[in-house]
Every structure is written in structure tokens, then in C-alpha cells.
Structure 1
């Protein structure tokens, strides 16, 4: 009882204790943060702590055009360095907003939180973010470039091949906070299908409609895309030839057909190899045996009947010293036995044993006259490689003929398992 109480108390103490750590909503390590020139840069770092845990100080650093301290928070007082004076605002307990950042302030920003945990031990947390500041459209050259991909692309969602239009190339590592719109030859406005490796993609519907397709940043997203004043109307146009596009689709489908055929050939070759191996095994994995001449013609109860004269033992599965057949392969086997007995007050009662379990039983009674009588059994059973099959006497009144060929035990492999 005392041990149980101590265990429960220890479990409760462990479950209630925690260590100062980053909040789940805090920027992840090496996160990419994007903002526009002369805009606000928000670095949303936050630390989770419990009662008894204390933040001693927080320091923010910038590494880009130089390596310098941005600000330090100590004893509730935020002290900002001269180069960032008047532009830094504290958010949460470890995050800051830097107002009016410029493209010259791109680089790595980091934070260091020094704290004391509930045990009074010193704890330091550090995180870093990569900040990209755009002046105009955040592409490699400040422009949009639309073009048609040379090859068609297969879409898992539509299960079709599509002609693809591309517009970019942006410097965002992740998906930008906006999407590009496309104007089709019919004047319809549609959004990009996806963003991949700095480019917005538009998968054209089949059949492809030829004509001019124009990509642009929506007016509602101009400020997010760092477009200002007269630079907000940024677009690029690509002309799609419907005939060439259909040929592009046919080429893609043809390549896929050839690839499928190659794969089918590989699979057929594999099946052919397995079939050849199977046919080879059918010819080589042949198993059969036939044995006569019982070693003991008056066995006791549960004795194994042991035919000692082997006429056939293909596969060497039968052991004339034990009377048992051991399967060399997994498969279906057929076993047979023909037994002859005589004598008043005696009978034949024998079981076919498969891996120690009774599978078949034969029984015949000689009657009071004690004349000769014969009995036979036959069974088709599944046997695993290494399992044994034998004949076993039931009861103590078996009496068999002493003739060398009067009693027999035989078997053969019908089919083996792959």
C-alpha cells in the first residue's frame, strides 16, 4: 500500500512539473519570414512558463549588413540599440515588431531568452529566423514571366494529363500569402492551380483552348505582394497554340503508354520466371515411397508400424528405421496403406498420424473364426516441410500377417506449395 501511494504521488508530481519552453505558436527554428520594404517586420517568438519560472532577460540580434544587438529586455525595461531606436515594439514575452524595415536589413534575426526554472536552475532558449524584405514584386528580377511547359504533367486529382502554364519566378521558399490570377482567352478569371519551387502553375482543362493567357497579382493582394503605386499592375502573357498543345498531350500519353508497356513486360517476365521455376520444380521435386514387411506383426498400443523393406523412396522422405515419412516440401500428399491380419480375438485397428495428430483410422474385426482379413486406408492431406507421417497401432490386439509383402505403407507428393 505504501509503495502504491508513493508511486501515485511521484506520478502526480511529474505530471504537474514542466520546464520553460517555446510556445507552440512561436516561430519555428530557421523559419522564413517575409515582409515588404518600409513595412513592419513581426517576429512572433513567445515562451511558455509556469508559476515559479522567471524570465531574467531577453536579447534580440541581427546578422546581415552587420552583426549587432537590436534590443534587450531586462527587469521589465526594453532597451533598444541606436540603429533600431524608435522602431522596436515588444510583443508577447519574447517577440518584437520592428517598424519601417528596409531591404538593407534582410538577413538572420535571432532571440536569446535567459530564465530560471522552478528549481532555480539557469535555462537558455535560442531561436533564429531568416528574414526576406521585398522592394516591389518578390521575384528574381521584380517581373512576372509566363510560359508554357514543354511537356505535359499528369495530375493525380484528375487522373489526366494537362498542358501547364507557369508564371514566376518568386523568391518565397514557402507558398506566398497570395495567389496569381489568370485571364483565359474567353475572358474568364481563374486562380492558379498550385505553387511549386517559386512558380505558380495553371493546369489547363482538356481539350485545351488556344489563345492568350495572362497571369497577374490580384488588386486585393497588391500590398501583400509588395506592389505600390504605379507598379501594382504587373502581368505577363503567354500564347497557347491548341494544336501544339494537343500534340504535347499525345506525346505525354504515348510516353506513359511506353512506360506502362515496359512495366508490363517486366511483370510478365517475372511471371514467366516464376512459371518456369514452378515447372522445373514440378519435374525435380518428385516425392514418393513404398515400403513393406512389418518389423513387428503384433505391435502394442501406440507402437509405430515399421515396414522395413523399401521398394521406392524418391526424395528420401521415408525412414525404414522409424517407419516415418518426413515431408521434404510444403505440399499436398497422398498416403495409402494395405494391411492383412488373422487370429481369433484379434483385429486390425490402425491410425494415420500426421505430425502427431490422428488423421484417419481403419478398423476390421476377424471374428471368432480368426480367418485372414485385410483392410486399407487412403488419405490426401496437407503437410508442411519437416512434418512426419506414420502408421500407429491402436489398442493391443493387432495381429498382422507375417508375409513379407502382405502389409505396405506408401505415399507420394500430389503438388507442392509455392
Structure 2
């Protein structure tokens, strides 16, 4: 038979029926093929006398939507494209055969036939078919293994502990992916709970019933149909569930969960106790610190101890006799008082010239700001004294001192500087 089939019988009868599809795969049909098998698209047609083939084009649209030309027939030559070269052959007229199909060849196949009649009129004729390439499932051992899990599993939908069966290990679920059918000892079919990490898992109802449970591949599954007839995957895998062991598994799971919950609650309680202890320790430290501040004794009294004369604005220092200095806030090296805490303080400085015709000019200073000052002049045989004093709020670290006003002054040896904490801030 040549490439173009001219209907010999029709010619003998003198019929002229025009282009006809014959012995053809139905338009829009679905073909299920196992991977590795050939795809045969039987698109045959007949021509009437005077008709000829101008061109034939075959295309493939993959499942992802990608469209590729498979082959063309032009000028009596069959030309496959590079993607299908060596794997596709012309089966006669519009027929096409693809060898050793893979799941990548799944999709929609079309043929477009352009015919020229005796009047040189071109007509187009189409056929299409959907091809599904199925691939058989595979396991690591070549057979299905089923077992009762050693530990019970918590059902997330009910929060109850259940005995779990595992069927696997699947390295490939095939194409399209297979599920398994579970059967109870009574022959009841159960749906698998989930598929994870190559295994199908089934949670048994509570209370667990003992006996033989099985998992198997459904014979109607397209992927399972591609298994060799002697494949162990066609056989059921069974496991004998022991009720006593199942109940022990559930009891153990409950105990482990209760212990974990108790440990978690103990850890939470321990954390709360530690937090409370830390909080109490911090509060105690803060209370003690406040008590230490409010009960601290801060006071000093210093006497100049020698007669001095100053001609400029200078500190009165040092004092030869520091009578007391509780809290060590008075520094006699520079005769300055530094506040150890925030609070209210009282200070007083007293002096006199102690010589006729002499002057005493003294100021009480806080950080360079005058708090108070005194002026004393000796004008006779009587001794005179003057004081400068102030009650002032100091922040921790602020300083107070006595100094001479910027003019000649004489200070007698009884000049004194006194200060103390009245009340610390809380």
C-alpha cells in the first residue's frame, strides 16, 4: 500500500465520494498508554480520483500547554522534527506511531491534512486525540510492606490517640499517582489517612479491633494497570494487629503525653517561680537602696584653723581641722562638698576678720552660682562675725564650696564650714 490510499474499489464502481477518514482513531478520543509502549494514532483516509495530498502536519500539545510540531509530510517526504527524530514513524496516510512513550508525551495530538482536488481547491481535514501516558508505581523493595507502628499517633482532628498502620515504602507513586485500599478484618474498606515520605498511613478507629488488615493497589488505577503481570505490587500486603499490643501502645502514648504535659507545666511553674524570686530580689534591693538613701547620715564640719588673707575670688581651702565627715562627701583637698544623693541640704559658713580695719567677704557657692554671701568689717576693739547660709536642693554629684569675693579679705582661724543632708529624695 502506498502513502496515499486511492479507493480502488470505489474507482471500480465509478464512485466519486471525495476525502474520507477510514479505520481512524475517533476524533477527540482518549488513549491510555503505559510508559515504554508505543503510541499509535490510526488516522487513515481515502482520496477520490483526482485528489492529492498537499501537506500533512502533526502537533503535540503537552499537559503544561507547550505546543510542538511532531512531523510534517511534504512532497511525499515524511520529516520528523528534531525533538521526535528517531522515535516517530509514518504509519500510512495520516497515521503516526511514537515509540517508547514517556509521561512527557502525554497531551493532545492533532493532525492537519491539506487536500487539493481536480479544481486545485485546497481543503483541510482535522483529527485529534488525547493521550495519557501512565507510569507504574515503584517501591524500594519491589513489594509493598505494611506494619503496625510502634508508637500511637495523635489524631489532629479529634486530638485522640490512635493506632497507626503504615504501608510503603514507595519511591514513586506512578503517574497518575496511586492511592491504596485498606481492608479491615471484616472486609470493610477504609480510606488512607495521608501519604507522607513514601508511606501511606491509616489511623485505626478506637477501640482498636485486632485481626488481619491489608493494603493493596486498586486494580482499576491506570498506573497500577501498567504493572507487569508477575509484579509483587499486584498482591495485597497484610499485617496482623494484636489488640493487647494496640491497647498497650495507646496507654503508653497517654502516659508519655501526660508526663510531657506535667514536665511542661513544671517548667512553666519553675519559670514563674524564678521570675517571682528575681522580681522579689530586685524589689528588695530597690527597697534596701531607698532605705539606705533615706537613712544615710551625711554631714560635715570643718574649721579653717589659721588666719589667711585673700586678694581674689578663691576657694577657702584647705581647712586644717575637719571635725567630722560622715558619708565622706566633703573633700578637704579642695574644700568642696559633693552631693552623694539627690535631696535637700543645709549649709552654713561663718567668719570674721579678727583684726581692726580688716574686711571679710565670703560667698556660699553651688556649681559657680551664689547661694548667699556676707560682708564683715572690724571697726574697733570688738570682734565681729558674719555668716552665709542656705537650704538648697542638690542633685547627686553637684558641688558646694566657700570662696572669697573678688577683693582683699582676711579670714580668721575660727572660720568654719558646715553642711548636712536634711532629706533625701525617694
Shared fold by TM > 0.5?
no
Q: Which has the larger radius of gyration?
A: 2
